Structures are given as C-alpha cells and as structure tokens.
Amino acid sequence: MIEWQRGQTVDDIDTPALVLDISTAERNIRRMADRFAGGPVRLRPHIKTHKTPLLAHKQMAAGAIGVTCAKLGEAEVMIRAGIPEILLATEVVGRAKVSRLVSLNRHAMVITVVDDADAARAISDAAKSAGLRIPTLVDVDVGQGRTGVSPGEPALALARQVAEMPGLSLVGLQGYEGHLQHLTSAAERERQCRAALKKLTDTADLLRGAGFSIEIVSTGGTGTSQFAGEHPGITEIQPGSYVVMDSHYGTVEGLGFEQALFIVTTVISKTRPDVAIVDAGMKTASIDSGMPLVRGIEGAEFFFAGDEYGRVVFDRPRSDVRVGDRITLVPSHCDTTINLHDWMWVMADGKLEEIWHIEARGKIR
C-alpha cells in the first residue's frame, strides 16, 4: 500500500511517480465536450488512454454518451464502475472472448465490431443461445490497413450476412483513421482525414440505399476529432489522448489541449557536472514514440540508462541540480506510459489530492 497524505507536494511523494494535473485534465474534458455540445455528432471517448473509471465518469458528466474500449478487460472494469454503454472497438474472436462479450451484454450495452462473417456468426450463435441480440458495427478500413473490411461493396456484402444473424443487430459502421492522428500539419491532416472519412460515409450511404438502418457511424481520434466532428454523416467520435496529452501529440498543430500527465523522478546520482542519473527507467516510461521530454530545464535531454535508471544530460555543467532533486518528464506516449503504472498521483494547484488506482491497467485480453 502506498503511503501518502493530502496536501503533499511533488517533493514529498515517492518516485518515480505518474502525476496527473487534474485541473488541466478537467479543462481538456470540458473543451472536447463543448466542441460537440448540441450538435449532431456525439462524443464516445476512448478510455484505453487513461484506463481509469473516475476519468470516464467525468467524461460522461461532461456529456459523453458512453465510452470506447479496446479490450474486453477494459470494458469489464468500466461496467463494474457503472458505465452503462460501451463500444468495444476491437474485433472479438475466440470462444473465451465471445463468452465474455455475451456475459457483459447482460449488464450493460456493449456494441461490438466485426470484419469477418465467421467471427460474427460465432458471436451471433452465442448471443442467440443466451437470448440476446448484440448491437454490431461493420468495421471498415479507411486507410490504416489494420482491421476492417474494404469500403463499399465488401462492407455491404458483410452487412448483408450480419443482418441475417439472429444474435446480432446491425446498427452501423466503424472506421478509424489512426494513421493520420499525428500528422503535424493541420491542413494536411484535414485533407487526408476528409478523404478517409468520405470512404466511411459513402459506405454508410451505400448500406442505407440497400435498405439498412445505419444509426451509428463512429470514427475519430484526438488528432482528427475536429475534422471528424465536422464531416457530414459522422455520428460519433472516439478520441482518447486529449484528456492527458503527451509530447508526441504536442508536435501536432491546432489541437488545443493541454499537457496534464507527467512523470516525477528523483536525481539519485550526479558524479558528472553535466549528467544526472534519475530513478525513472524503461519500467517507468514507454519508448514507442521516443524519449520523454524534460520539463522546465532548458537544454536538458532524457535518455534511458536501463530498466530502473534514466540519464538527464545537460548542455552545460549544472551545479543547481543536486542529488535528491526532483525532475519532471513529459511522456512521449500517454497510453503506453500509463499502462506501466498501478497508481496515478492526482495533483491540483501543486498539492496532492488523491492517488487513483489505474484499474484497467494491464487489461490486454
């Protein structure tokens, strides 16, 4: 059990620590919600970033219609925390996962996505046996090349098969332009986003023309949320990182969200005047989007020095950085960094309010 006291500062807490500036996170939540308040596009934020029910409830209170999850384990956490409606944005394949999906639909609405008729039929058979019909989206590949059936006629062919399955209820389409989220140029990101989303909305129109009632057309991430929210035919968006942000998203033009997530680390050795060794290594911060940034010290760069160690290199000798000092890092990728931690230290105005258990951390199944 972690020892802590309300009102502590970053100098008091044990490190390395994942720190959330809750006031900033709440501003980010409100800013995204305000963009879509009263409009035709609804917000269904992705919790794979923060993995924390309390933040999901804040998003719901700000106007979200539900949340999006990547994995069944995340959905289980959110349902136990009282979230009533979830889009599971990843295909469910295999007997164990199908059983869990059906069980979850006894307690909340869990919308599933499919891009394969045989996998869809397995879900339908299990749902029919349980006396359920599971709301289902056809997953459409709009350019990322990951999951999803091709737009147009292939999506229509799969929709016709799904519509005949008694355990499924076809309610719409999903398409995720994940390959565009970090394009730096706002103009180029908008151009490519609109082209990708046209594939999705044209497919929705094709299905409607074939007699299908397409209620949901779901898409969008933090980097494309504004453009997706303005695109005719989109009904909901699934951004996630905007709540906390990271240094990778910090390079993307025009997003309008603030950095709320940090790593606080302690200098544990300084035998050279231009290098400090800290207690945050590869077990503390992810590396898939590059190195974390050093906050508040000009000319300082962070490098990993092992599982448990980090190396902060200064561009000149620094006598003002000593053993025992705290250094703050900005994670390069918030999703994967949060997944390394069990606890989030929640600060407001520089003072510790609470620590939150990251309940969906490690839910990879």
Q: How does DSSP assign 149-178, residue by residue? A: BPTTHHHHHHHHHHHT-TTEEEEEEE---G
Q: 209 and 151, same structural domain?
A: yes
Q: 334 and 228, same structural domain?
A: no
Share of the chain above pLDDT 90, in %: 99
- In-domain check, residue 220: yes
Q: 318 and 261, same structural domain?
A: yes
Q: 261 and 193, same structural domain?
A: no
Confidence grade of residue 3 (pLDDT, cut at 50, 70, 90)? confident
Tell me, what's the pLDDT at 220? 95
Does 1 have pLDDT greater than 80? no
- The arithmetic mean of pLDDT across residues 324-346, rounded, is 98
Among the candidates 209, 242, 275, a domain finishes at: 242
On whether the CB atoms of residues 67 and 59 are closer than 8 A, the answer is yes
- The arithmetic mean of pLDDT across residues 300-319, rounded, is 98
- Between 3 and 272, the more confident residue is 272
Confidence grade of residue 44 (pLDDT, cut at 50, 70, 90)? very high
Which residues contact residue 38 at a Cβ distance below 8 angstroms, ignoring those fewer than 6 apart? none
Q: Are strands 236-237 and 310-314 parallel, antiparallel or unpaired?
A: unpaired
Count the neighbouring beta carbons within 10 Å of the beta carbon of residue 21: 20
Q: 200 and 169, same structural domain?
A: yes
Q: 268 and 185, same structural domain?
A: no
Q: 57 and 195, same structural domain?
A: yes
Confidence grade of residue 253 (pLDDT, cut at 50, 70, 90)? very high
Domain CATH number, residue 303: 2.40.37.20
Q: 221 and 97, same structural domain?
A: yes
Does 276 have pLDDT greater than 80? yes
Kind and range of the H or E run holding 69:
strand 67-69
Domain count, the chain: 2
Confidence grade of residue 2 (pLDDT, cut at 50, 70, 90)? confident
pLDDT tens-digit map of 48-98:
999 999 999 999 999 999 999 999 999 999 999 999 999 999 999 999 999
- In-domain check, residue 293: yes
CA 355 → CA 6, 24, 77, 351, 358, distances in Å?
9, 16, 18, 12, 9
Dist. CA 9–CA 356, nearest whole Å: 16
Give the predicted TM-score (pTM) of the model. Answer: 0.97
Q: 28 and 115, same structural domain?
A: yes
Q: 87 and 145, same structural domain?
A: yes
Dist. CA 134–CA 162, nearest whole Å: 11
- In-domain check, residue 330: yes
- In-domain check, residue 1: no
Tell me, what's the pLDDT at 316? 97
pLDDT tens-digit map of 108-126:
999 999 999 999 999 999 9
Kind and range of the H or E run holding 294:
strand 293-295
Does 244 have pLDDT greater than 80? yes
260 Rama class: left (phi>0) / alpha (psi -120 to 50) / beta? alpha
Q: What is the DSSP string of 35-64?
A: HHTTSSPEE--BTTTT--HHHHHHHHHTT-
Share of the chain above pLDDT 70, in %: 100
- In-domain check, residue 279: yes
Q: What is the average pLDDT value for the chain, to the nearest integer?
A: 97
Q: Which domain holds residue 296?
A: 257-357
Q: 30 and 169, same structural domain?
A: yes
- In-domain check, residue 17: no
Does 31 have pLDDT greater than 90? yes
Tell me, what's the pLDDT at 27? 98
